[in-house]
């Protein structure tokens, strides 16, 4: 009767795809050797397994042992996929930008990717093909960023923050993913890169309600005064981002429901959707905001000689009829801060923080505040949690210590401070 090993000699056994096959080859001296064959990443792989055990011998591998070794090899042997075109980072980057545009990505996203390619990835990797780039190369790029240098040799005035480094490397990761799906690279070396940790600063700069009133009252006199007054108080009392304020239209001001609705954003000179899905929202409109917007509406009506249309911008530049220029808004804001004798280094965005801190201090639930501010992640909103009122917690501590004090007054000191010697 023929043994199992003998039946396998000289032929491979048909198996399911990916599990490979065993076959035996006989050399000139008559020795039989097990070989394995399998396919991975579109390539055929052949490996010598070991000598085949002859009948009555203890040397060599039985079929079961050869099978086990084949399975080990299939799991351990790494074979790169067949790569089509040999493209550089710059070439893939241009195709990736076209892809993002075709998918309707936000202009700000496309601008960020283009900036990362122009200033970092393209000059650093130069003419090297994507396939030739290793994890060590990417680590070298990160070291360059940490050192405050650019691939061009120019030294930056300050080092890149961990958050900026993560964004730049994230673009490279997306680029490799884009390339591997199209056969221009066989792997993504960014997967094995350890990125710098980002520690979120808990220091929030904001204005007090008194300071907000002072800034509003100190708006720069002239053509933009009415616009700026309404802009400052709306920013501080609705928490809208600057781009959302500039994109606000009169139809978004719901006088009846006392709400301000966020439908658009203005970034890099273009109108688009808000920053995230949660950013499309409505925010309560306080009486002070409604009154200031009403004054702006009447001032606009007097200036243009008719009632503003529903689709017209609320904060339109009175001199150009175009959306407000962010740089000029900041210049006038800092002049107003100076006139109000406040810190001129305050950013316009600090008005948004003013809303967050004041709402938290007023006892607005964090989940509600997340909705009003349009944060995608509640962890972003949690930065305001320290400003929430905690009188109940203080009362608990006071009550606990009141009982201790009562015990002390009754002379029960031994358990607390120990016996006196």
The predicted-structure confidence for 22-74, as pLDDT tens digits, reads as follows 999 998 888 899 999 887 765 778 889 999 998 888 899 999 999 999 988 88
Looking at CATH, the fold of the domain delimited by 89-192 is given as DNA polymerase; domain 1 (1.10.150)
Selected residue with higher pLDDT from 349 and 158:
349
Cβ burial, residue 232 (10 Å; 0-12/13-18/19+): buried
pLDDT bracket for residue 317 (50, 70, 90): very high
d(CA 357, CA 26): 81
- Beta partners for residue 61, in sequence order: 52
d(CA 262, CA 274): 8
| Residue 273 near residue 280, CB atoms below 8 Å | yes
C-alpha Rg value of the chain to the nearest Å: 34
d(CA 94, CA 381): 36
pLDDT bracket for residue 355 (50, 70, 90): very high
Judge whether residue 156 has pLDDT over 70.
no
d(CA 265, CA 104): 15
Looking at CATH, the fold of the domain delimited by 4-76 is given as Double Stranded RNA Binding Domain (3.30.160)
Q: Cα–Cα distances in Å, from 276 out to 81, 270, 360, 376?
A: 37, 16, 22, 6
Judge whether residue 404 has pLDDT over 60.
no
Looking at CATH, the fold of the domain delimited by 210-385 is given as hpI Integrase; Chain A (1.10.443)
Domain boundaries, the chain: 4-76, 89-192, 210-385, 394-421
Token representation of residue 274: 């808000």
What's the confidence (pLDDT) of residue 152?
A: 74
Q: Which of 83-97, 134-148, 300-314 has the lowest mean pLDDT?
A: 83-97
């Amino acid at each position: 009767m023929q043994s199992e090993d003998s039946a396998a000699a000289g032929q491979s056994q048909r198996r399911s795809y990916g599990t490979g096959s065993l076959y035996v080859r006989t050399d000139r001296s008559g020795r039989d050797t097990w070989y394995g064959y399998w396919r991975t990443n579109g390539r055929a792989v052949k490996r010598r397994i070991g000598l085949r055990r002859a009948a009555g011998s203890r040397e060599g591998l039985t079929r079961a042992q050869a099978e086990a070794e084949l399975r080990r090899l299939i799991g351990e042997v790494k074979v790169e996929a067949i790569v089509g075109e040999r493209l550089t980072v710059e070439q893939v980057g241009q195709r990736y930008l076209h892809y993002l545009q075709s998918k309707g990505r936000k202009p700000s996203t496309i601008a960020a990717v283009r900036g990362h390619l122009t200033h970092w990835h393209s000059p650093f990797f130069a003419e090297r093909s994507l396939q030739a780039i290793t994890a060590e190369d990417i680590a070298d790029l990160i070291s360059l960023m940490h050192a405050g240098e650019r691939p061009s040799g120019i030294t930056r005035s300050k080092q890149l923050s961990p958050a900026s480094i993560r964004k730049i490397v994230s673009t490279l990761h997306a680029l490799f993913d884009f390339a591997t799906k199209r056969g221009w690279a066989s792997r993504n070396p960014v997967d094995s890169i350890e990125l710098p940790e980002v520690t979120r600063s808990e220091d929030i700069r904001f204005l007090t309600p008194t300071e907000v009133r002072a800034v509003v009252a100190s708006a720069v006199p002239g053509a933009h005064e009415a616009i700026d007054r309404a802009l400052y108080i709306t920013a501080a009392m609705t928490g809208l981002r600057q781009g959302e304020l500039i994109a606000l239209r009169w139809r978004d001001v719901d006088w009846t429901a006392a709400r301000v609705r966020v439908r658009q954003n203005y970034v890099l000179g273009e109108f688009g959707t808000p920053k995230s899905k949660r950013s499309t929202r409505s925010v309560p409109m306080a009486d002070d905001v409604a009154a200031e917007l009403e004054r702006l509406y009447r001032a606009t009506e007097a200036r243009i000689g008719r009632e503003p249309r529903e689709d017209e911008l609320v904060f339109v530049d009175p001199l150009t009829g175009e959306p407000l220029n962010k740089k000029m808004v900041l210049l006038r804001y800092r002049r107003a801060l100076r006139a109000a004798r406040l810190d001129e280094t305050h950013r316009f965005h600090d008005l948004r923080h003013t809303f967050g801190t004041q709402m938290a201090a007023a006892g607005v639930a964090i989940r509600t505040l997340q909705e009003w501010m349009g944060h995608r992640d509640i962890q972003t909103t949690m930065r305001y949690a320290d400003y929430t009122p905690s009188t109940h917690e203080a009362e608990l501590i006071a009550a606990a210590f009141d009982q201790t004090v009562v015990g002390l007054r009754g002379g029960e000191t031994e358990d607390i401070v120990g016996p006196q010697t």
